Amino acid sequence: MTPRVLWVDDESSLIESMKRQLRNDFAITAAYSGDEGLKVVAANPPFAIIVSDQRMPGMDGIEFLSLVKDISPDSVRIMLTGFAEQETAINAVNQGQIFRFLTKPCPPHVVLRMLRDAARQYELITAEKEILEKTLTGSIEVLVDILALSNPVAFRHASRVGEYAATVAFAMSIKDAWQVKSAAMLLHLGYITLPAQVLESFYEGRHLSDSEEAMIQGQTENTVELLEKIPRLEPVVRIIRDYHTSRNTSIVKAKDLTALSANIVRACVDFDRIITRGMSRIETLRVFQSHPDEYNEEVVKALSMVKTESDAKSRVMVLVDSLANGMIVDEDVKTHDGMLIVPKGYVINDMVRRRLKNFLLHDDIEGSIAVKCE
């Protein structure tokens, strides 16, 4: 695929010249001011490379590149200027985190070489990010599988809260929404240490003894201790550490990523807990709306869009051999002697289908199970 380049410069003749000379190697989009460049970046898929002139009317190149790195952090940034001043170069590197700094006029062959280097850098950045996300996603899936088998009660709540958080994060266009969903699911890992009766009493709102209350209060730290051992999962750990005490503070209203994510997770956890205790969706949302200091208004609005278990899915019995990925197990699947095989709420995948077929071959389970599907 031809690398996409955004070229921001008030000299239209220069951009048109670069378009002609580089058209076989790069797809160049023009913007003629910093303000226009920001709008183009926000309205389009990520550009591999962003080139900006330093001297432009209004917003200069340093300011533009320092702002654009927050909108499109993976884009490789390049500064062009007619001023070969050391201070300008230092500011551009420090504030805009640029990849190259070149003076004007710059020969086309130098520009071509520079853009090719930048394109290779972008490929490295995106490849590393993809590998990282796949690695983390795989690690999270393994942890959730462990939770499913070791504590089905916690897993059922983790699954629901994770889906609620994903819906809210998507509706609010949260950057790195996977972190929000992961935090919402993984915060339940600490519940592995709790007796099932204590956990059920907690979720259902029954009275807890002082010692049981202490168990519940300690679960966040248990989870953090487990997850801190996984490299690059720090943003998720920060959300989990903060969610329990999250309030609709000024930093949340300013949409600080970690603070807002923590408020989303707290809202989803509380929503699930209240629904579990028998309150209707409408009543629950009214409770949230009556506490604007606790829950961010935009979060509550997005939360109204989530689907609960009783909403859009119907319960059917499906033969094990006919199970399809994406179906949701609607009751614990156990062997005839009571061993848990797959907990309620688990989403059917290839591994689960193989597991169920193997137990069916040994006549350890029934031939059909209850699932929910569209």
- CATH (domain of 228): 1.10.3210.10
Same domain, 170 and 65: no
Same domain, 168 and 222: yes
Domain interval for residue 19? 4-126
The pLDDT of 78-104, averaged and rounded, is 69
101, 106, 108, 109 alpha-carbon torsion, rounded to 10°: -70
Domain with residue 370: its CATH number is 3.90.105
Q: What is the pLDDT of residue 180?
A: 94
Closest CA to 246 of 227, 228, 269, 230: 269
The residue whose two tokens read 């462990």 is 146
CB 72 within 8 A of CB 37: no
Residues 275, 44: Cα–Cα separation, whole Å = 39
pTM above 0.85, yes or no: no
Same domain, 83 and 177: no
Residue 86 has pLDDT above 60, yes or no: no
The pLDDT of 233-247, averaged and rounded, is 92
Segment 144-161, tens digit of pLDDT: 877 877 777 788 888 889
Q: Tell me whether residue 264 is exposed, middle or buried, using C-beta atoms within 10 angstroms of its C-beta: 0 to 12, 13 to 18, 19 or more.
A: buried
pLDDT confidence bin for 30, thresholds 50/70/90:
very high
SS3 sequence of 217-245: HCHHHHHHHHHCCCCCCHHHHHHHHHHCC
Least confident of 7-16, 135-144, 199-208: 135-144
Segment 180-226, tens digit of pLDDT: 999 999 998 888 888 878 888 887 788 889 898 888 888 888 888 88
Element holding 251 (H helix, E strand): helix 250-253
For Cα atoms 139, 143, 145, give the angle at the middle one, nearest 5 degrees.
115
The pLDDT of 113-124, averaged and rounded, is 92
What are residue 143's DSSP bridge partners? none
CB 16 within 8 A of CB 32: no
Handedness of CA 81, 87, 89, 95 (dihedral sign): negative
Residue 311 has pLDDT above 70, yes or no: no
Domain with residue 16: its CATH number is 3.40.50.2300
What are residue 324's DSSP bridge partners? none
- Following DSSP, what letter does each residue of 159-219 receive, concatenated? HHHHHHHHHHHHHTT-TTHHHHHHHHHHGGGGGGGS-HHHHHHHHHT----HHHHHHHHTH
Last residue of a domain, one of 278, 309, 340: 309
The pLDDT of 332-349, averaged and rounded, is 85
Number of compact structural domains in the chain:
3
Q: What is the pLDDT of residue 196?
A: 77
pLDDT confidence bin for 64, thresholds 50/70/90:
very high
Q: What is the pLDDT of residue 94?
A: 56
Residue 130 has pLDDT above 90, yes or no: no
Alpha-helical (H) ranges within 82-107 are: 86-96
Query: 29: helix, coil or strand?
Result: strand
Same domain, 274 and 220: yes
Same domain, 108 and 156: no
The pLDDT of 226-254, averaged and rounded, is 91
Residues 162, 347: Cα–Cα separation, whole Å = 12
Least confident of 42-51, 113-122, 145-154, 323-332: 145-154
Closest CA to 291 of 248, 242, 246: 248
Which range is most confident: 281-295, 320-334, 338-352, 360-374? 281-295
Same domain, 301 and 260: yes
Residue type at position 116: R
Q: What is the pLDDT of residue 374?
A: 60
Mean pLDDT for all residues in the chain: 86
Closest CA to 215 of 228, 233, 202, 231: 202
Closest CA to 232 of 358, 136, 323, 151: 136
The pLDDT of 168-186, averaged and rounded, is 91
Same domain, 256 and 225: yes
Same domain, 159 and 237: yes
CB 48 within 8 A of CB 4: yes
Same domain, 155 and 219: yes
Q: Looking at the domain assignment, is residue 146 inside a domain?
A: no
Q: What is the pLDDT of residue 87?
A: 61
Q: What is the pLDDT of residue 149?
A: 74
Same domain, 40 and 187: no
